[in-house]
Structure 1
């Protein structure tokens, strides 16, 4: 019988755990699967890996293989050591043990490798979808086109386009992920598909600032609106809202609209940041109006600045 170093074939040490052997097999079987790898020796390597895995995954077969010992080279003709034959031969003789190992590591393992259909779930796929701030306020529907690898009738890897209708839930935040079960890559054998994970990217208009579920927007006011108070219509992602600006408001003051932020449990708040915009003094009439204001108000904005 010719020796094969199954540990070397699998790329694992002789003291590898069952989990390490399984992980190595999955990786190598995917790499050398004839449907995915068109190199000349891919099928041979795939069968050898399957043969090695059939032996090393079974505790009794692995123990029998380990009893052969080390120091052999691949392809070298071997006979079991007497102690190995005594352990596994029916009457303790070397020939019985050799017949056992020949069956165990030759015909049996190769037949198992040929009949064994590797199964593992399909790969999880990841994609990014961009939505508007209005979408996360109200929820939305998106139709996505995805390209996933498939194997055609000639065994070649091609890409198939799939379309999915995806519901964007109300209140989802930037950076969160949606999991679409069984919408990922195809599984091998009878294993299920992987999952599809969609990362949400929120496209935010410049006038809004998002902090968690709270949203802030600047509200420019004329000087008299800030001084005398006013009713101002403020656009928000959920629609226009009329805001009461208290008399005597100064720039930088924040007005809170409770529960008007991004929906959730609880929802966020919407904040209006007040700013004062001065009319330009670009005509003689406007300059005169500013001069009259200076006389009438007798106001020193730096009265407490140096104290």
Structure 2
């Protein structure tokens, strides 16, 4: 995915006012509109200008875009090609997202635009006095593996854009207490009824959907509903086999059998010790053979003796293949 610098597309600084955005767009539109332009890349430039204008003239989209730019700046450099938004850049940011897919107005906008703004974000209101249910809103929430396994009550703070008494757009924080159900998995949603945008004309409010993300863990890695953990073993344990006691995500220790002649990278499965849900995940132990350091003369002598007793060449397959 290619990063889009919307300010650069319109030749503006980040501090540009709405009037400056309008003037820049009109000037560039007169130059690149395909009906009048003689520029070879007029159609592509016009598409780029329209996309930049769509984001920067919309106060909510612009605020979200600026929030992502701040995260990029805090992380240093980034790649223009193959760009990926910073992990969880939108966490804690409450935004609108319609469910009707990509609108016709945005059909030709870039993948970058769609990835940030959830495709179409429009709500149709045909009559001013009509009752219209409030928009659903979406936000991301990060939970720990332990909270996913056991359930929890969690206080979260969401940022939403609101107009103040002077009509200026500003961020407003709101605090919610959320019940994390036991067995929730990454990518699932928690629905909070009536916590979305207020209804129009006295209609009911929309809902708030919280997308579950699992926080990085010092010991376990999450892949779907499965968990992975590196299990360090000694060369002796790997060669002869061993019974090893390990910690599990639910807080209990269990004994596992390492089979004789195990190799680094071998996986041992503990059934149903992964994330819980309609289908339980598993815990996979990835063997990691750790060599004792040869720091003393006795340790060095032991290694020499081992090489004599068990002559072993891990590169024997290379013989006869030299170029």
Note if 1:290 corresponds to 2:303: yes
* Aligned partner (choices 106, 122, 131) of residue 143 of structure 2: 131
Q: Which residue of 2 aligns with 1:249?
A: 262
Q: Evaluate the alpha carbon distance shift between residue 247 and residue 162 of structure 1 in structure 2; reply closer, same or farther with a 3 A threshold.
A: same
- Higher share of residues assigned helix: 1
Tell me the TM-score normalized by structure 1.
Answer: 0.55
Are the counterparts in 2 of residues 144 and 164 from structure 1 also a CA contact under 8 Å? yes
* Partner-residue secondary structure (3-state), 1:288: helix
* Partner-residue secondary structure (3-state), 1:165: strand
Q: Which residue of 1 aligns with 2:314?
A: 301
Supply the RMSD in Å over aligned alpha carbons. Answer: 3.0
Note if 1:271 corresponds to 2:261: no
Q: Which residue of 2 aligns with 1:211?
A: 223
* Aligned partner (choices 211, 226, 236) of residue 248 of structure 2: 236
Are the counterparts in 1 of residues 146 and 249 from structure 2 also a CA contact under 8 Å? yes
Q: Evaluate the alpha carbon distance shift between residue 123 and residue 288 of structure 1 in structure 2; reply closer, same or farther with a 3 A threshold.
A: same
Q: Evaluate the alpha carbon distance shift between residue 160 and residue 204 of structure 1 in structure 2; reply closer, same or farther with a 3 A threshold.
A: closer
* Partner-residue secondary structure (3-state), 1:287: helix
CA distance in 2, matches of 1:300, 1:152: 74
Once the two structures are superposed, the pairs formed by residues 1-307 of structure 1 within 5 Å of their partners are: 117-146=129-158, 162-205=174-217, 207-239=219-251, 240-303=253-316, 306=319
CA distance in 2, matches of 1:152, 1:290: 74
What is the CA distance between 1:304 and its match in structure 2? 5.4
What is the CA distance between 1:265 and its match in structure 2? 2.2
CA distance in 2, matches of 1:153, 1:295: 84
- The count of corresponding residues between Structure 1 and Structure 2 is 194
Which has the larger Rg?
1
Q: Which residue of 2 aligns with 1:25?
A: none
CA distance in 1, matches of 2:293, 2:162: 66
Moved over 6 A (4+): 149-160
Q: Evaluate the alpha carbon distance shift between residue 272 and residue 187 of structure 1 in structure 2; reply closer, same or farther with a 3 A threshold.
A: same
Which 5+ residue runs of structure 2 have no aligned equivalent?
1-126
